[in-house]
Structure 1
Amino acid sequence: MLKLIIGNKAYSSWSLRGWLAVKQSGLAFEEITVPMFDETWNARTHGDEFAPSGGKVPILWDDQTVIWDSLAIVEWLSDKCGRDRFWPKDEAARGMARSMAAEMHSSYPNLRRDLGMNVRKTFPPRDLSDEVKQEILRIFELWAQARARHGAGGPYLFGSFSAADIMFAPVATRFVTYSVPLPRFAAAYVDTILSHPWMREWIQAAQDEPWVIEQYELEDS
């Protein structure tokens, strides 16, 4: 059986991506949640299970094979379970979906810094920096292009739920947490993502976590 080690569901955007990827695989897995940055975090991250990733989550163990980094987990499971389970069948759509997933993986540092994930909170609207606004507009642009070109088959970016949606799912939660104004098409997509049964399962589990990271609980964090 697969074993997935993740951080707090309230705060860990990368863990959410890895968890959604394993759910999408359809494979049985053991889920281990470890509270981030508590008094045992440093010691735990130097243990054998964490060492390959340098102490980062998520980490997927497939028997003796270890895969860390959310996009690597997506690709590993895609190879294992079939590409069509994670990526659009159409070649043009697949190329765009892979590019969007890679851009989400490597970009948007200002949004990540200023709008940390917290699925237990909803803050009032705030003044956003120009850099964050530009990154949000870029995300809207990508979502609009994907929906217009390849989204006719369903409500997700490329019609059916795919790795592209997995990569952008934490962004959808951030837009709700920080009351970011959304154009109609983006609001519809965010509602679609947050209504997915797996997202509801994750967010509900986050409500029951006992751990709190103060820096993500403040309106001006």
Structure 2
Amino acid sequence: MKLVIGDKNYSSWSMRPWLLLTHFGIPFEEVLIQLDQPGTRDAILTFSASGKVPCLVSDDGAAVWDSLAIAETLAERFPQHAMWPRDANARAQARSVSAEMHSGFAELRARMPMAIRTSKPGAGATPGALADVARIDALWNACLDVSGGPFLFGEFSIADAMFAPVVMRFNSYAPPLSPKAAAYAARVTALPAVAAWIEGARRETHRIGHDELDVSADSAA
């Protein structure tokens, strides 16, 4: 399989399926396309009709795009890895929080774009962004209270992969978090697959100026 992704420093959507494939030890070929370049869209269109990353291309050439669709596809194709919780109620809850992350938190995305190399504590802390942070904090606490941790539903799952880019944002902008949420963010950051993604982001030299310098724009692709 091929996984087509954008810059590791910026592409929050690309990070999610990459983490799943890497964490669960599923072999894949990484195809990285730099974002915000003159040929970016055309390069992505050779793999994905959406013109966006990520895109998973199977051995037979079939393409699946959108991070959550890719996650569902991987869970279906590799059921031995339990990417969703085994328990039906926990699985429904995990899907709910993943979908909320997928479709929500627009102010957080806009004001605190993922830029892993950036460290700007306090930047982007608008009332709307902080309201998103508070909701995420409460959501993490609720999940951890039920599961007992160490991850949202016990073992690392799609839900944790969906929130990993949020952890990257929190690392960069340091909004206030409850002790339990802060500890969870630290555990996600230390996960080997996440640490490998961060290291890849730090090695990149390509920069998108508006994401490095202006926290008013959303970088997600």
**TM-score by shorter chain over 0.5:** yes
Distance verdict in 2 for CA 1:81–1:66, change over 3 Å:
same
State the shift of 1:220 in Å: 4.2
Q: Which secondary structure state, in structure 1, belongs to the residue aligned with residue 213 of structure 2?
A: coil
2:47 to 42, 46, 49: 49
Whole-angstrom CA distance in 2 between matches of 1:127 and 1:44: 32
Q: Which secondary structure state, in structure 2, belongs to the residue aligned with residue 217 of structure 1?
A: helix
- Contact kept, 8 Å, 1:121 with 1:217, in 2: the verdict is yes
State the shift of 1:23 in Å: 2.1
- Contact kept, 8 Å, 2:2 with 2:31, in 1: the verdict is yes
Which ranges of structure 1 fall in alignment gaps of 5 or more residues? none
Matches within 5 A, 1:64-213: 64-82=61-79, 85-126=82-123, 128-150=125-147, 152=148, 154-213=149-208
- Contact kept, 8 Å, 2:4 with 2:33, in 1: the verdict is yes
State the shift of 1:208 in Å: 0.9
Mean Cα deviation higher: 200-209 or 126-135: 126-135
Whole-angstrom CA distance in 1 between matches of 2:51 and 2:68: 17
- Which residue does 2:36 correspond to in 1? 37
- Contact kept, 8 Å, 2:125 with 2:175, in 1: the verdict is no
Whole-angstrom CA distance in 2 between matches of 1:94 and 1:220: 35
TM-score between the two structures when normalised by the length of structure 1? 0.92
State the shift of 1:94 in Å: 1.2
State the shift of 1:65 in Å: 1.4
Q: Which secondary structure state, in structure 2, belongs to the residue aligned with residue 5 of structure 1?
A: strand
State the shift of 1:42 in Å: 3.4
State the shift of 1:84 in Å: 5.4
Letter matched to residue 177 of structure 1: S
Mean Cα deviation higher: 132-141 or 4-13: 132-141
State the shift of 1:133 in Å: 1.6
Whole-angstrom CA distance in 2 between matches of 1:136 and 1:59: 28
Whole-angstrom CA distance in 1 between matches of 2:87 and 2:139: 18
- Contact kept, 8 Å, 2:5 with 2:31, in 1: the verdict is yes
Whole-angstrom CA distance in 1 between matches of 2:75 and 2:104: 23
- Contact kept, 8 Å, 1:122 with 1:178, in 2: the verdict is yes
- Over the residues paired in the alignment, what is the CA RMSD in angstroms? 1.5
Distance verdict in 2 for CA 1:85–1:177, change over 3 Å:
same
Query: Post-superposition, which runs of at least 4 consecutive aligned residues in structure 1 deviate over 4 A?
Result: none
Which ranges of structure 2 fall in alignment gaps of 5 or more residues? 217-221
The percentage of counterpart residues that share the same residue type is 40
TM-score between the two structures when normalised by the length of structure 2? 0.92
Distance verdict in 2 for CA 1:131–1:166, change over 3 Å:
same
Question: Bigger relative contact order, structure 1 or 2, given CA contacts below 8 A and separation 6+?
Answer: 2
